[in-house]
Chains A and B, each alone.
Chain A
Amino acid sequence: MNRSSRPWSVAAARRALALVVLAAGATAAHAADLTVSAAASLTNAFKEVGPLFEAAHPGTKVLFNFGASGALLQQIAKGGAPVDVFVSADEETMDQAQRQGIAQAARRRDVVSNTLVVIVPGSVANAPKALADLAQASYQRIAIGLPASVPVGRYTKGVLEAAGLWSVIEPKMVGANNVRQALDYVARGEVDAAFVYATDAALMPDKVKVALTVPTQTPVRYPAASIVASPNVQLAAKFIEYLLSAPAQAVLAKYGFGKP
C-alpha cells in the first residue's frame, strides 16, 4: 500500500462520498410520498389519519405540512412547493387557489366542519356572556387570526363586523399567524380572550375554557383538493376520498370536528 498521505485521503474521500450517496438513495424507499398541506387546526386529527391511510395503502408515506391556510397557499403559489393535497379551513382560501389555477376544481370536496368559539384563560373568574362584553375595558387584549391569511380571523372579522363590534375590538387585537398561536396566547394567559375553533379549545381543557360559541356568517367548512402540478394525482384523489370514509371521519369526530 502506498504510504504517501495524498492518495490515501483521496481514496477515503471517495469512499465517504459513495456512502453519502447510498445513504441518500436509501431514504427514498417508498412507492409514493404524498405531501399534504393542511390547516393548522387539523394537526392532531390528521396525524392520526395519516398512519391509517398508510396502512390501507401499503407502500405510501404521507407527509404533513401544517400552517395557516393562507400561508400554505402562498408556499404553493409563490414557492412552487411540491404539495399533492391542500386542505384549507375556509372556502375563500380554496377559491383563491382555484382562481390561481393551483387547485383542481374537479377534485374539490368538503371534508369536515367546525365551530367558532371565544376562549378565555382557564384561571380567570369571569367570562364574557355575549360578544358585546368583549368591548368592555376588562378585555384589553384579544387574539384574533390575521384576516389576510388566517381563516379563523376571517370568520371572526365577519362575525364582529356583522355585530357592529369590529371597530371597537380591532384596537385590542393581537394578531395571530395561525389559530394555534391564538390558542397558545390564551393558554399562557398573555391575552384576555381569543377566537379559535372548538376543536382547538378541546385540546387544552385545563388551560383554556370556552366562553361563547359563535355562529358564523358562512359555515366553517374545510375543502380539500388535489394540486394541479402534483405528480401523484391518483393517490391525492384516494387520500381525499379516504378523508370522507368512516375510519377517518371517526377520528375527526373524536377531536370534535363535524360532518362536512
Chain B
Amino acid sequence: MEAAWIALALTLKVAGWATALNLVLGVAVGYAIARGRFPGRDVVDAVLTLPMVMPPTVLGYYLLVLLGSHGAFGAWLIEHFGIRLIFTWQGAVIAAMVVAFPLVFKAARAAFETVDPQLEDAARTVGVHEVAIFFRVTLPLAWRGILAGLLLSFARALGEFGATLMVAGSIPGRTQTMSIAVYEAVQAGQDDAANFLVAVTSIVCVAVLLAAGRLVPGRVAARGS
C-alpha cells in the first residue's frame, strides 16, 4: 500500500504543477483569443483545442519525438542545459499540461467573453491602467468560469495515462502516477493494490468534480443574488 501513497503524492504533484502552469498559459491565451480580432482566430482556437480530441497516445508520440534525446527540442535542451525530459516528473508535467490545456483555455475564453465590455470601458474612462483593468475588473468577473475550467483540467491531469506513459515511462516515486500504477497492478494480477488505487483515484476525482460543479455560473446566480 505504501507504493500507492507514493503514486498518489506524485500524481498530485504532477497534476498540481500542470494545472498551475495551465492557469497562467490558459488564462493568457484565453484572454488573447477572446479579445483578439485577427484573421484565422477560429483556426488558432481549433488548433489549441486539438489536444482535447486527439488520442493521448498520438499526443504522447508527438511529445516523445519532439522532446526525446534525438528530438528537435529535446536535443537542444540536453546540449545547452543538460536537461532530459523523458522519464522525469517534469516530462510527466508537460504531458499532463498539453492534454489538459484546452480545458482551461476554453473555459477562460468563454468566461472572458461573458464579461461586459462596458464595465471595462467605464474603468478606462476613469483613467485606470490596462493591466489594472485586467486584474481588478475583468478577472474578478471571469474567475468563476476560469476556476471551473481549472478544476476540470486538474481532474484530467490526474487521470492522464497514454501520453504520460510514452513520455515519462514508469519509475516508482518519479514518474509512476496513479493511472500507470493501476495499469501495472492489473497486469501483474495484484488485485489488492489495484482496488486500493482505483478507490483513492475515484474519491479524489469525484471531489474535484463536485467542487467544479458548484462554480458553474447558473448555480451561483440561483444561490446568491
Contacts and interface: CB of A to CB of B under 8 A. Distances in A.
A74 B191 CA distance: 10
A114 to B, nearest CB: 21
A70 B172 CA distance: 19
B202 interface: no
Interface in B149-193: 165, 169-172, 176, 183-184, 186-190
Given A141-B87, A173-B171, A68 B69 contact: no
B169 A174 contact: yes
B189 A74 contact: yes
Nearest to B167: A190
Q: Which of B70, B170, B188 gathers most chain A CB within 10 Å? A: B188
Interface string A173-217: 111010000000100111100000000000000000000000000
B69 A149 contact: no
B184 A177 contact: yes
A177 B170 contact: yes
B87 A68 contact: no
Contacts, number: 57
A109 B187 CA distance: 24
A231 B190 CA distance: 28
A190 B71 CA distance: 11
Contacts of A175: 169-172, 176, 184
Contacts of A177: 165, 170, 183-184, 187
Contacts of B172: 175
Contacts of A189: 68-70
B187 A74 contact: yes
B86 interface: yes
Given A188-B68, A189-B69, A70 B171 contact: no
B70 A174 contact: no
Given A141-B87, A174-B87, A190-B86, A73 B171 contact: no
A179 to B, nearest CB: 14
B4 interface: no
Given A141-B87, A189-B69, A190-B68, A148 B190 contact: yes
Given A70-B188, A177-B184, 15 more contacts: A73-B189, A74-B186, A74-B189, A146-B170, A146-B184, A148-B189, A148-B190, A149-B184, A149-B188, A174-B169, A177-B183, A185-B169, A188-B70, A189-B70, A190-B69
